Amino acid sequence: MSTLIKKRHSLLPGDTGKFAGILSGFILLLAVLPILTMIVMSFSGASNLDFPPGSYSLQWYKAAWHTFVSPDASDVLSLGKAMSTSLMVACLTMVFATIIAVPAAYALTRCEFRGKAVALQLMSLPLVFPMVVLGLALLLVFDSLPFQITTSRLVIAHVILALPFVVKNCTAAMLSIGSEVEEAAQMLGASPLRAIVDVVVPLMKSGILAGMLLAFIVSFNEFTVTYFLYTIDVMTVPIWMYSRTVSSLDPTVFSFAVLIVLIDFVLIWALEKLVGEGGVSF
């Protein structure tokens, strides 16, 4: 009997690992199932949205390409212009969020000041703040200004959303840098500012790159807040795609969505190659 009990206990770790693997695979399948469904539907050869498709073809990719090179008359804005707006806003968001986040991460890591804990909490507030409420609040603020801004308000809103990601990654990089490196640079004649610029910032490279790419991804895919702030002449790709589904679902949207997923996949792959998994903080 004791031999049987020992044998049964020896099987428990393996059984637990097998169960954990099955559970992880099931959760992963649930996570990627909508993406897989979208990819399958983009290759549908039917004229309706039945799933699974009865046949497969590239007709919706051809239609998407035609829409890109020859916009429909019903479109208020071409996809090319929406794509250029998304790229411009995402690039500006990436730059401004990084400019703000690097000194903020340094101050939160190196400096001790009253209200530091509150500042840390406020920095993470956009991560938990309801996006609909934030979009409406920003709309009221921007509409109350005595002057009109269009693209700039999208950039400001996206910087607010992306800033926590950039700050978290820069702070994680700062925590691995001891203050002795700055002291050594100053002992060799560098000013405090030059020690930061020439020594600390290069050592933060992994966190900065991770934050920049995450800021770009967040901005490029943002919809909810952007919905409250876009105009007819200035709209991003997610808003343009939504406009194609207001009256009836255009199957070409699946083809455009595959393109967006591909762009995001390339950016995430580049993120892992540049900084590694250990340098990314979500």
Model confidence pTM above 0.85 = no
What CATH code is assigned to 74-279? Answer: 1.10.3720.10
Contacts of residue 155, Cβ cutoff 8 Å, sequence gap at least 6: 89, 92, 93, 96
Kindly list the distances between the CA atom of residue 271 and the CA atoms of 190, 210, 240, in Å, as whole numbers in the listed order.
32, 6, 27
Q: What is the CA radius of gyration of the chain?
A: 24
Per DSSP, 196 falls in state: I
Q: How many CB atoms are closer than 10 A to CB 163?
A: 24
CB-CB contact of 186 with 192 (8 Å): yes
Nearest to 241 by CA among 253, 229, 227, 255: 253
Residues contacting residue 241 through CB under 8 Å, at least 6 positions apart: 253, 256, 257
Give the Cα separation of 250 and 239 in Å (integer). 14
Distance CA 211, CA 102 (A): 10
Domain residues of the chain, as ranges? 74-279
pLDDT in 10s for each residue of the chain, 282 residues: 455 444 445 545 556 767 777 888 888 778 778 778 778 777 777 766 667 777 777 877 777 777 776 665 555 567 778 888 899 999 999 999 999 999 888 888 887 777 777 777 777 777 788 888 888 888 898 888 887 888 889 999 999 999 998 988 888 888 887 778 877 888 887 787 888 888 888 888 888 888 888 899 899 989 999 999 888 878 888 888 888 777 666 677 788 888 888 888 888 887 777 666 555 555
